Amino acid sequence: MKARLRTVRLELAEPLRISRSTMTARDAVWLAVEHDGVTGYGEAVSSVYYGLDADTLVRLISAIDLERFADPESALEALPSRAVPPAVLAAVESALLDLIGKRDGAPVHRILGTPMAVGVATARTIGITSLPHAAAEARRLVAAGFEIVKVKAGASDAEEDVERVRVIRDAAPHVRLLLDPNGAWSAPQAERLLPRFAALGVEAVEQPLPPGDPDALAALAEKSPLPVIADEDAVSVEDVRRLAGRVHGVNVKLAKCGGVRAALRIAELIEGSGTELMLGCLTASSLGIAPAVQLADRARWADLDGHLLLARDPWRGIGGADGFVRPSSLPGLGVEEVTAHADVA
């Protein structure tokens, strides 16, 4: 097999502010794996939180040396599960599954056991922003067809978070609301705030407490008036095993768990435990979001809007602009590149 890498810059349509940072763009590394005239693609995106810049991603993906394998199946079988960042594993696995699907004329969702392409409603994120802008965004999203809005929280003044949710609820009275402070609150603060957000009709809250103390998160979930979903505290299969049955949900992002096969192991692990699956993502192109869309029918909550935050998405094929993401019936991941960029490695 032959492998190529490209690095591109993904600019956001507008700055996205969360509790710990504001993002305007991120780098993406695209992997192309060719075998017998068929090419599969995968994407890894840079992350300050996970300590991965584009150069590091290129180096780590190159170190896997896919060209030593005779076919994509042997490469998939040999992928390391440890000592390699999950984002790297997810991107390589994506390219190999895309290649297998294209070679066999089958979409990845069928390879993974879902015969029919199933579209699901995805959340759309509103960052920490002014109240008028938040209300206008909520109205715009509902008019476009969105049924779920995720509101970022964790402003320096918690009252600002409450008011932002209030104006969004007033602007979109029937929309499903999710809340995500990205670990910004202390336990006493969360205990005071969550009843107020529940009264505003928030459906669930992601990672209200700083990561690193899953027992504290579980204790909060036990008395919370609304479901608590672990995100930064639920990175690996081992993390989820410790939290299964103790929180109401886990946010599984392929870039933090290691790909679709790891996500399926997590889904199997939590089945029947009382902990439900949320599928999330990082800001990425349609190429980076497509693998998770193949699994979206298995999740109670889908938050697969990373490509919708971009000023220009260089790939297409999973939809989302109307509030619903859909696996394509095309072979592989079902996405196509719509712009061209020069090879850098």
The catalytic residue among 2, 150, 223, 253 is: 253
pLDDT in tens, 288-310: 999 999 999 999 999 999 999 99
Going by the DSSP 8-state scheme, the letter that residue 309 receives in this structure is G
| pLDDT at residue 117, as a whole number | 79
Asked if 95 contacts 31 with a C-beta cutoff of 8 angstroms, the reply is: yes
3-state SS class at 291: helix
Extract the runs of DSSP E, i.e. beta strands, from 90-138: 120-121, 123-126
| pLDDT at residue 340, as a whole number | 52
- DSSP code per residue over 261-274: HHHHHHHHHHTTTT
Extract the runs of DSSP E, i.e. beta strands, from the chain: 2-17, 22-35, 38-45, 120-121, 123-126, 148-152, 176-180, 202-206, 228-230, 249-252, 276-279, 301-302, 315-316, 324-325, 336-337
Q: What is the pTM of this model?
A: 0.94
Q: Which of 213, 290, 233 is nearest to 259 (CA)?
A: 290
pLDDT in tens, 91-146: 999 999 999 999 999 999 999 888 887 899 999 999 999 999 999 999 999 999 99
CA atoms within 13 A on the CB side of 108: 30
Q: Is 253 a catalytic residue?
A: yes
What are the residue ranges in the chain where pLDDT is below 70? 81, 339-345
Q: Is 152 a catalytic residue?
A: yes
The catalytic residue among 2, 102, 150, 152 is: 152
